[in-house]
Structure 1
Amino acid sequence: MRALRISLVLFIVLGGLFVLADRVAVGFAEDEAAGRIKSTEGLADTPDVSIGGFPFLTQVVAGELDDVKIGIKDYEAPTGGTGSAAGTIRIDDLDAEMHGVSFSGDYSSATAGSATGTASISYAELLKAANSEPKEIGFGFSARVTGLSDGGNGKIKVAVAVTPPGTKSSQTISVLSSVAVSGDTVKVHADSLPTLAVKLAEGRIRSITDFQQKIEQLPGGVKLDKVEAAPDGVEISVKGSDVRLVG
């Protein structure tokens, strides 16, 4: 009986030591991976990396991690163009969950079999893609987009300032718009056009109300999937396969 008790105590102690060693190892791996991702993606700040699954050490032996979560704040995504036309758009929060992550022994390379995640862009940031400078739309009328906000039911409310001919005072009208993803581009399209004092060509009005924002080179090569309006901005779903995390 005494031998059984001793064996039980030893089992508990060894088990505790294994768990401790496993947690120390996973903490080291998370820090190492975060540093590598920061360097690979050229990030200003170190991302949050969380490695799931237990025990971690058996996953290391197998050479593949079940689940890795990555969080990046204030990511500047390229918007296409070259030279003076090149620009970026700030993604406030980019969170991705990677599955089936294979890696090298020194963590110098890591690739996820699949990835899903979300990216959030504020309305103030998305507004930069809209026509915020006054533009002639016909018969002396000019218009520009002055603000974006949540329109409810998955719609974006687009505030448009319209200035009649011969005056400097403008009237602000609101347009409910749908938002969708097409390839690497987020597109905002007015569901219906505002009624003005005169009948203007639809194309001229849509040159103000409708706009789009290209988003390129997301970390690891993940792609835009879906987008919807949210209270503080747009929430974008991203996904990818054979996503390169490091190397």
Structure 2
Amino acid sequence: MRKLIIGLLVLAGLVVVVDFGVAAYTEYRVSRTLRDGADLSADPEVTIHGFPFFAQALDGRFETVDIRASAKRPDLPGEIALEATLTGVHLELGDLSDGRVRNIPVERVSTRMRIEPTELGRLFGIPDLQVHSRPADKSDGSGGSGGSGMTTAGALVLTGTLPEQTGGTAAPFGDGESEKVSVMADLLLDGDQVRIVATGMYKGTPADATPTAVIPEAERPAVLERFTRTIDTEELPFGVRPTEAFALGGQIVVEGRGENVTIDLDRLGIGRR
């Protein structure tokens, strides 16, 4: 009886090892397929959740698959973080592992694009740019849409040091020096575009920011323009349209969701139509 129990335990251990091994190999194959199809600079991280893996493979339905990758775009500095969570993935194991299939039916898909603080600073030309959320303090009576099809995604405070202009004669403070300033801004989702629109000078101080300078009235329009940008999402991973944008931990996060859709593995990278 003791030998039988030991034998069963060893067999169970081998089954677990083999199950995890096959799952890891499949994740690797999917990662390589995604990299080649989306022309990424590195293998994306692929995690197939659920145990045992073989049970899902035999059923042809994988409960949850998480994908994380980084991609470069010519209109944005640095790399953009891409994420996707696929729920209810219908696919045969052989097709998944050898890359024969490019289009995969899924019950639900949730995708995200994250722009890190460093990339935001480069985009604005303000290296020390900080992004803070603030409570919305106004309403235009349009349900947050601005009456133009745009969805108000959040109210922000942007803080950063505006560099002195060439020759030191056009600094935004009129004294030839560079100082840190804070502005209020609206984060808007306008179709496939994320708009960060500076609306006024911020008189308070964000909790984790240093005190900022007071800007002369005549110089404020130029300062607000420096803190205003439009980012074209060019679709999220797998062609999902954006439905929400918000600030989180200094990042700008754009999300999109879909149900009962067929995703194209070649469209993990942004803008691959």
Q: TM-score, normalised by structure 1?
A: 0.71
Which stretches in structure 1 are left out of the alignment for 5+ residues?
Answer: 78-85, 133-144
Corresponding residue for residue 265 of structure 2? 246
- Contact kept, 8 Å, 2:84 with 2:112, in 1: the verdict is yes
Q: For 1:181-230, what per-residue CA distance to the aligned partner results, in whole angstroms no more than 9, with x for missing partners?
A: 22211111234368754599x8x986555331111143322332322223
Corresponding residue for residue 172 of structure 2? 170
**Aligned pairs (5 A) from 1:49-128:** 49-73=46-70, 75-77=71-73, 87-88=75-76, 90-104=78-92, 105-107=94-96, 108=99, 109=101, 110-126=104-120
CA RMSD of the aligned region, Å?
3.4
**Aligned pairs (5 A) from 1:140-179:** 148-153=129-134, 155-157=156-158, 167-171=169-173, 173-179=181-187
Task: State the shift of 1:114 in Å.
Answer: 1.5
- Contact kept, 8 Å, 1:227 with 1:235, in 2: the verdict is yes
1:219 to 233, 237, 258: 237
Aligned residues: 218
- Contact kept, 8 Å, 1:228 with 1:235, in 2: the verdict is yes
Alpha-carbon distance change, 23 to 226 in structure 1, aligned in 2, over 3 angstroms? same
Corresponding residue for residue 13 of structure 1? 10
Q: Distance in 1 between matches of 2:56 and 2:127?
A: 52
Task: State the shift of 1:240 in Å.
Answer: 3.2
Larger radius of gyration: 1
* 1:40 to 2:41 alignment: no
Q: Aligned with 2:8: secondary structure?
A: helix
Identify the structure with the greater strand proportion: 1
Identity over aligned pairs, percent: 20
Task: State the shift of 1:157 in Å.
Answer: 0.9
Task: State the shift of 1:72 in Å.
Answer: 0.6
Alpha-carbon distance change, 151 to 178 in structure 1, aligned in 2, over 3 angstroms? same
Q: Distance in 2 between matches of 1:146 and 1:70?
A: 30
Q: For 1:32-67, what per-residue CA distance to the aligned partner results, in whole angstroms no more than 9, with x for missing partners?
A: 110111111111100111110111111111111101
Alpha-carbon distance change, 151 to 92 in structure 1, aligned in 2, over 3 angstroms? same
